[in-house]
Amino acid sequence: MSYSTDLLDGFETLYKRTEGVLKCNQEMSNFFKKLSVLEADYSKALLKLVKSTGQKKLISNPFLDGSLKESWKISLNELELVGNQHLVFSNLNNDLSQGIEKMVKDKENIRKKLTSDGQKLTKDIKAQVEINQKAKLNYHKLSKEAEVAHTLLSKGQADPKMKQDKVSQLSSKASQASEKAQQADMEYREILNATNIKQDEYYNTDMPTLLKEFQAFEEDRIIQSKDSMEKLAIFVKEIPPVVQHAFEGIEKGAQQIDKDADIRQWVSENRTGVTVPAHIEYQGFEGEGVSSGAGNNTTSSPSNFRVGTYKPPTTQIKEWGLTSKDQSLSSTEKIAKLEQQHQEISQSIRSEVQARSGIEKLIQFYANDPKEQKKAEGELAEADKKIHTLKESQKLITAQLEELGKTNLSGSNSGADLSNSNGAGGSTGGATRVVRVKGLYDYDATCDTELSFREGDILTVTEQDSSGWWYAELAQSVNPSASIGALGFIPANFVDIIDA
């Protein structure tokens, strides 16, 4: 079956068909354009998730380590490849959309020409048929008039009462009518012949030729549409291998997670070095009191009784700073580890300073008990030694951070330096000088008497205690929901004095 043999006089149907199919193809173009936008948005969102949350918040998190961290690295890399493939798919769909849209524009011009040619052919044959119809009607009219004229002439000739002049007039009219009828007959025959010739050309040549062009139009449209769908199939086919590769990589990374190895690694890096202590020996009651007359201090206690023995805060015995085991870490991971250690060691220093303040009070309390005072002085020396060691390690961490480009830790030792950690007889009281300080790090209060603040917050300090805890009021905050004017204790080593 074909247009040229089965769609004769079907131009009106073809006009509607060609207009409709091009609108349909335009919808195909719109579909691929929307699909392209959809895939681009998904790709953008997935890649953003991988980089913002995956790499910045997970991979750089100091608490993500060992084989679990390696599994996440593999998974994020594979998901990034999936996101990139969706971007490729988006671009290819956009190309499909543009190709179809160009085809529609080209075909629209062809459709207009085919429609114009068809309308001209139809108009011409219709005009020729109308000319033929008019010639036929004129011929029939004049032939009827000639017939009537001859009938009247015959009646006149047969009527003996009709005068000869009247008969002559009827004869003349009949002759003229016959001539006109004969002339109309000749014209009608010529026009009819021309009409038949034109009709033959119309149905046998002109119309079939134009119908073939309409069919070629439709065939090419279908071929190009088919090509678009085949390309779509190829584009879609490229996605599963990428997803399959991602599946295999993520699955392999997940299977390599080893809980035992991760625990061994973490324990080896954070071991305390503490062993099980020996049993505590029994000490019997001696019964000797200390004379209340010795000196001005009237405090007395048994010689074997102490109002508070120094119990230094538990400080992990660990390697501070970067070691040879950390050489494989990226700069971001090294900074994250050092910052975590800096927070830990600052907390340890603060705890040791607070404990040291308690020892100084013990020394004053045992002013009349030389034995216990000597023990307290020994504990004070031990505390000073620990504080000194921790501060040296803190300097190492700070230096390594500065080597990596992290230089905003200049005030980190202020809290510890304010304590009298290099001597045994310093004051444990508080200063009343009002100063303004700026938060170096985020701090979350651990009880109702403490004050939470964020890095960059401005606080007004009204009391500075040598224990390292200052009483302050929140003046400005980077957190919009913070309670300006809130009061509480803050750790001195978490802030830096900006003006007095």
From its phi and psi, is residue 310 left (phi > 0), alpha (psi between -120 and 50) or beta? beta
Cβ-contact 25, 103 below 8 angstroms: yes
Hunting for tokens 């009204």 — which residue is that? Answer: 462
Query: Is residue 144 very low, low, confident or very high in pLDDT (cuts 50, 70, 90)?
Result: very high
Instruction: Check residue 372 and give its pLDDT.
Output: 76
Mean pLDDT of the chain: 84
Does the pLDDT at position 429 exceed 70? no
Question: Is the pLDDT confidence value at 416 over 70?
Answer: no
Question: For residue 244, what are the contacts with CB-CB under 8 A and spacing of at least 6?
Answer: none
The hierarchical CATH code for the domain 3-247 is 1.20.1270.60
Question: Buried b vs exposed e over 80-94: b needs ≥16 C-beta within 10 Å?
Answer: bbbbebbbebbebbb
Q: What is the mean pLDDT of residues 278-305?
A: 49
pLDDT of 86 > 50? The answer is yes
Tell me what percent of the residues of the chain surpass a pLDDT of 70. 86
CATH node for 429-500: 2.30.30.40
Residue 89: which residues within 8 A CB-CB, separation 6 or more? 39, 235, 236, 238, 239
How much is the pLDDT for 380?
Answer: 82
Confidence of residue 307 (pLDDT cuts 50, 70, 90): very low
Contact 26, 99 (CB under 8 A): no
Instruction: Tell which residue, 364, 317, 373, 371, has the closest CA to residue 344.
Output: 317
pTM value is: 0.50
Beta carbons of 437 and 497 less than 8 angstroms apart: yes
**Per-residue pLDDT averaged across 327-356, rounded?**
83
Count of Cβ atoms closer than 10 Å to residue 121 Cβ: 17
Q: 474, exposed or middle or buried, with CB in 10 Å at 0-12, 13-18, 19+? A: buried
Q: What pLDDT is stored for residue 432 in this prediction?
A: 59
Q: Which two tokens stand for residue 300?
A: 């007395």
Q: Which residues does 19 contact at the CB level (< 8 Å), separation at least 6?
A: 111
Q: What distance in Å separates the CA atoms of residue 378 and residue 365, rounded to the nearest whole number?
A: 15
Report the percentage of the chain scoring pLDDT > 90: 48
In sequence order, what DSSP letters do the residues of 337-370 get, joined into one string? HHHHHHHHHHHHHHHHHHHHHHHHHHHHHTTT-H
SS3 label, residue 96: helix
- Which of these ranges, 224-238, 359-373, 376-390, 456-470, has the smallest mean pLDDT? 359-373
Q: Is the CB of residue 170 less than 8 Å from the CB of residue 153?
A: yes
Given pLDDT bands bounded at 50, 70 and 90, which one contains residue 120? very high
pLDDT higher than threshold 50 for residue 344: yes
Confidence of residue 361 (pLDDT cuts 50, 70, 90): low
pLDDT greater at residue 28 or residue 322: 28
Relative orientation angle of helices 66-158 and 259-270, to the nearest 10 degrees: 130
Residue 212 has pLDDT above 90, yes or no: yes
Say how far apart CA 380 and CA 421 lie, in whole Å.
9
pLDDT score recorded for residue 356: 73
Confidence class for position 306, pLDDT limits 50, 70, 90: very low
> Per-residue confidence at 164, pLDDT binned at 50, 70, 90?
confident
Give residue 500's pLDDT: 59
The confidence score (pLDDT) of residue 373 equals: 77
Other beta carbons within 10 Å of 15: 16
Choose between 355 and 328: higher pLDDT: 328
At 379, is the pLDDT very low, low, confident or very high (cuts 50, 70, 90)? confident
| Mean of pLDDT values over 322-341 | 85
CA distances from 198 to 122, 146, 191, 194 (A): 11, 31, 10, 6
How far is Cα 174 from Cα 290, in angstroms, rounded to an integer? 174
